[in-house]
Amino acid sequence: MDRNTRICIVGGGPAGLSAGMYLEEKGYKNYTILERLDRVGGKCWSPTYNGRRYEMGAIMGVPSYYAVHDVEEFCGITHDGPKLNRNYKNGAGKVIEPFEPKKNLLKIPRLLKMKKQMKRFGELLETKYKGYDVNGHRGVAEGRYEGFSAASAKRQPVSGENPNLKDLCLPFNQFCKMNGVELVQDIWIGPFTSFGYGYFDEIPAAYVLKYLDFQTCMNFVKINLWTWKNGTQYIWEQLNEHLANPARLNSKIEKVERRDGKVYVTVNGEVEEYDKIIVTAPLYIPNKRRDGQVGMVDYFDAREDERALFSKIDYERYDVLACETKPEDHPEISYYVFDNMVPERLGHLMVYYRRWRDTKDQVITTYALRKHKDGPEVDYDKCRQMVLDDLKIMHNPASNVVNEWSVYYFPHVFSEDYAAGWYDKVEAMQGKYDTFYAGEIMSFGDMDETAEYSRELVERFF
């Protein structure tokens, strides 16, 4: 493609900013990033409280976040944040140690069985499911893999046939059952469901394992984590400052028309002309949101094939509260509440974080899911109250809520559409209508996967 091509990038989150970085590294200078908010970072949002930044969105990374490390190197920054740790409570607020045999004598047989299944699972992923950890979803429903390997920071292109990959279309609980490793769900649920990515009976295994490949999950288990002193948003603020063309904030895109080989974008009342457009913002939002956010199909001249495919997308209703506590009620550590990570406890507190261990004059952040595909959505205000009530049960009551956020989170399709080749159909449309699709839905809803997909998109098409 001509390096002078005029490229519009919709969205100033990790996917959009990374797309700008990778384009720039390939010699493209004529790109524009449009961000509707007054800040960059997307779901990496790190506000300030009492002089320190806390997290309302993404919290941490791991050493296998290679795309994030690309950004660090581009900007000359590093992961310099507080060391995180966590413990566990049951639904009644009692501290437990579910993975410590000496504290769970009656569970020793189950824990030993889990250990064997974990080893077996690692072997299965490397052999039976070779190619499972390639970024993106191209070919999975057809029993093949194609993309960049996640085995090392070099991320070499790989491809191959593996009919077993079709199993990844199944919900993760069914996938584990068919492979005789049901107990590994006890390990994977912490960094998956509590992080807002849904329940194992509804989410295809491909999503679970593209995000939590064996290496990444073990980093979470061993608490081998990266954090940033100024928050995850700082990564993307720094990238934005180092780009030749920083994102234009407060850019309200009213209309996009694609005709005669050009893309006409009406932004803040003015029409701008481009040759290509990369969409990293939501493609489809199935219901009216309080914040007024809409999907691409609502402001683009969306074609029939785009509407038909993107209407299959759903997303998680995942809510965050930042709460003050009295000093005597401040938790000594972050806590996971496994009892609440099941659909029957929809809307209840699943995890709450204490980011700064050296002071009690900071907020704690709480997280809850309020949607399962087979049931009604829990009302936001009801969920909010449930979480506050749960904090009392956990013996860490909130004295005040200083911030709250209900964000469009983890867009995905369900097993039937995944198995029917949804991803291959969308990938076949890349470049059609002079449009490219990136962002969370094309890979997974964490900052590294979305940035990595942008890298791959640029390598493939630009």
pLDDT tens per residue, range 191-232: 999 999 999 999 999 999 999 999 999 999 999 999 999 999
DSSP letters along 404-444, please?
EEEEEEEEE--HHHHHTTHHHHHHTTTTGGGEEE-SGGGS-
Both 158 and 29 in one domain: the answer is no
Does some domain include residue 122?
Answer: yes
Mean pLDDT throughout 98-113? 86
Structure tokens that stand for 48 in this block: 């300030």
Do 37 and 141 reside in the same domain of the chain?
Answer: no
**Looking at the 3D structure of the chain, how many domains does it have?**
2
Residue pair 293/282 in contact (Cβ under 8 Å)? The answer is yes
Q: Provide the pLDDT confidence category of residue 153 given band limits of 50, 70 and 90.
A: confident
Are 115 and 235 within one domain?
no
Q: Which residues, including other chains, have CB under 8 Å from residue 240's CB and lie 6 or more apart?
A: 12, 17, 40, 246, 247
pLDDT in tens, 256-297: 999 999 999 999 999 999 999 999 999 999 988 888 899 999
In a domain, residue 452? The reply is yes
Distant-in-sequence, close-in-space partners of 243: CB < 8 Å, separation ≥ 6: 17, 20, 21, 24, 33
CB 71 within 8 A of CB 376: no
Domain-located, residue 86: no
Residue 42, domain extent: 7-47+230-313+413-461
Q: What's the pLDDT at 223?
A: 93
> Quick check: 105 pLDDT over 90?
no
More confident residue, 98 or 370: 370
pLDDT at res. 100 = 86
Read off the tokens for 436: 């490219």
Phi, psi of 207 (to 5 degrees): -65, -45
